[in-house]
Chain A
């Protein structure tokens, strides 16, 4: 078992402040999802975000953290090849036994509670305009209660992916400081499952399978959301670096600089690509590029130099911009917010970038995770094992759980709801009361 990491007073203070910035990422993603959806579903989108964050917090408090745990905590091990591999934590439910006093474990609880909410927001944009509120709450409970904590245990809780270094001779084991995998890729792959289970919006595809453009209703909300997300992401990356990779508090500035540069490079790449391809820059795709850059920055933000962060962000911007089109045109996946591309594709690239660019010299990972005799040369293998686990465990699990939920409680709204808009159908009122609406269109006529 790995020892419980200790944080200096400065690290505790900095970590607490950084975690308190994460709700800005909630606000950012919520605005992005809403701005890229239709005006007739805007209130539903924002309320769904609040509900997802709330359900995620309750479930994570109830049993999510007990299964995620933290390095050095109790866990179940599976002995294979003479080595014990930790696969799930064995904490007590309802956070019993954890003193919320500023210890590393208590900060991990707060960090997890904030980041599980962020993870739950990612699929909301994908399911926009057709995902029922009750189903959103149910799906979030499954995510916060099983998929997220189990994978987060493997990466951040001293689980088998983190053990790959010392037990498997793969560099420092799987490394992800700010959550490119645990938060972003898990959320992005959940979004992919939701897109498949819900199917595309009405009118999105013609009978020949050609997609129609359904533009978002408010680019200002979208771009404001991008700016707010940056603040939250800096908090996420700084807190994650301090808690899970033993980063020195002095590196917080490097992390913030890398996060900003990565997002900036990705956004400019999106602007440039859309300018060249379509003649004018596209706000939606450029915003997706920005988010993709933030997502990709998270895993290696503490271990790369700023020039490398620019390269990571630039490649993320390119991948996200093209993959939005691939998913829509080639794979028939209707993703109004581009969350699958920004979070799943950007997240997987972020994970791999650690294996390519990261330099761990001078860093003391928690739990004594030092490089084995082979040095850090095997790091890329550990990162590949993490990607394999996302595709081989997270995607099938989240798909199966949401498929079962869909059998018990249909997740897609009725056709009438799509025609009316989610606001009127599920909430009974719209987001923009100043807009003239013709009530007779939506109420039964008395003849």
Chain B
């Protein structure tokens, strides 16, 4: 789960980079940019859920 979240964060950022560098200003670029951030948000959620009290002591 942790690695999946990690990869989704990186993938979302790659989509954003691609949108910024390769697409001309306009609707498609905005859509790709927002999609990239959406993928990052999913990755962040997965990353957060993979860390429930992993190493902590629960006395």
Contacting pair A164 B20 (CB below 8 A): yes
**A window 183-211: CB within 8 A of B:** 196-207, 209
Residues of A contacting B56 in the complex (Cβ-Cβ under 8 angstroms): 199-202, 204-205, 332, 334
Expressed in whole angstroms, the Cα–Cα distance for A168 and B44 within the complex equals 27
Say whether A415 faces chain B, with CB atoms less than 8 Å apart: yes
User: Chain B: which residue is nearest A327 at the CB level?
Assistant: B48
- One digit per residue, 1 when the CB lies within 8 angstroms of any chain B CB and 0 when it does not, for chain A 102-140 equals 000000000000000000000000000000000000000
Residues of B contacting A378 in the complex (Cβ-Cβ under 8 angstroms): 25
Residues of B contacting A385 in the complex (Cβ-Cβ under 8 angstroms): 16, 20, 33
Residues of A contacting B57 in the complex (Cβ-Cβ under 8 angstroms): 199-200, 202-203, 415
Contacting pair A392 B53 (CB below 8 A): no
Which positions in A face B, CB cutoff 8 Å? 80-81, 83, 85, 160, 164, 168-170, 196-207, 209, 331-334, 374, 378, 381, 384-385, 387-389, 391-393, 395-396, 399-400, 412, 415
Contacts A388-B36, A396-B9, A396-B10; is A169 near B53 (CB within 8 Å)?
no
Residues of B contacting A81 in the complex (Cβ-Cβ under 8 angstroms): 21-22
B21 to chain A, nearest CB (A): 4
Checking A164, A198, A333, A391 against B44 with a beta-carbon cut-off of 8 angstroms, the contacting residue is A391
Residues of B contacting A388 in the complex (Cβ-Cβ under 8 angstroms): 12-13, 16, 33, 36-37, 40
Contacts A388-B12, A391-B44, A392-B16; is A332 near B53 (CB within 8 Å)?
yes
Residues of A contacting B9 in the complex (Cβ-Cβ under 8 angstroms): 391-392, 395-396
Contacts A80-B21, A392-B13; is A206 near B33 (CB within 8 Å)?
no
Residues of A contacting B58 in the complex (Cβ-Cβ under 8 angstroms): 200, 204-207, 209
Number of A-B contacts (CB under 8 A): 100
A180 to chain B, nearest CB (A): 18
Residues of A contacting B51 in the complex (Cβ-Cβ under 8 angstroms): 196, 331-333
Main secondary structure of the interface of A (DSSP, over half): mixed
User: Chain B: which residue is nearest A373 at the CB level?
Assistant: B25
Q: Knowing that A80-B21, A200-B57 touch, tell me 12 more A-B residue pairs with CB under 8 angstroms.
A: A85-B21, A168-B25, A197-B55, A199-B54, A204-B56, A331-B48, A332-B51, A333-B51, A385-B33, A391-B13, A391-B44, A392-B9
Checking A83, A85, A198, A374 against B55 with a beta-carbon cut-off of 8 angstroms, the contacting residue is A198
Q: How large is the interface on B (under 10, 10 to 19, 20 to 34, 35 or more residues)?
A: 20 to 34
Contacts A392-B40, A396-B6, A415-B57; is A169 near B25 (CB within 8 Å)?
yes
Residues of A contacting B13 in the complex (Cβ-Cβ under 8 angstroms): 388-389, 391-393
Residues of B contacting A381 in the complex (Cβ-Cβ under 8 angstroms): 29-30, 33
Contacting pair A412 B55 (CB below 8 A): yes
Checking A170, A204, A391 against B12 with a beta-carbon cut-off of 8 angstroms, the contacting residue is A391
**B window 12-28: CB within 8 A of A:** 12-14, 16, 20-22, 24-25
Q: Which of B13, B16, B20, B57 has the most CB of A within 10 A?
A: B20
A389 to chain B, nearest CB (A): 7
B24 to chain A, nearest CB (A): 8
Residues of B contacting A170 in the complex (Cβ-Cβ under 8 angstroms): 20, 25
Contacting pair A83 B21 (CB below 8 A): yes
Expressed in whole angstroms, the Cα–Cα distance for A392 and B16 within the complex equals 9
Expressed in whole angstroms, the Cα–Cα distance for A42 and B55 within the complex equals 24
Contacting pair B53 A80 (CB below 8 A): no
Residues of A contacting B40 in the complex (Cβ-Cβ under 8 angstroms): 388, 391-392
Q: List 12 A-B contacts (CB under 8 A).
A: A170-B20, A201-B56, A203-B59, A331-B48, A374-B25, A384-B33, A384-B34, A385-B16, A391-B37, A391-B40, A392-B13, A392-B40
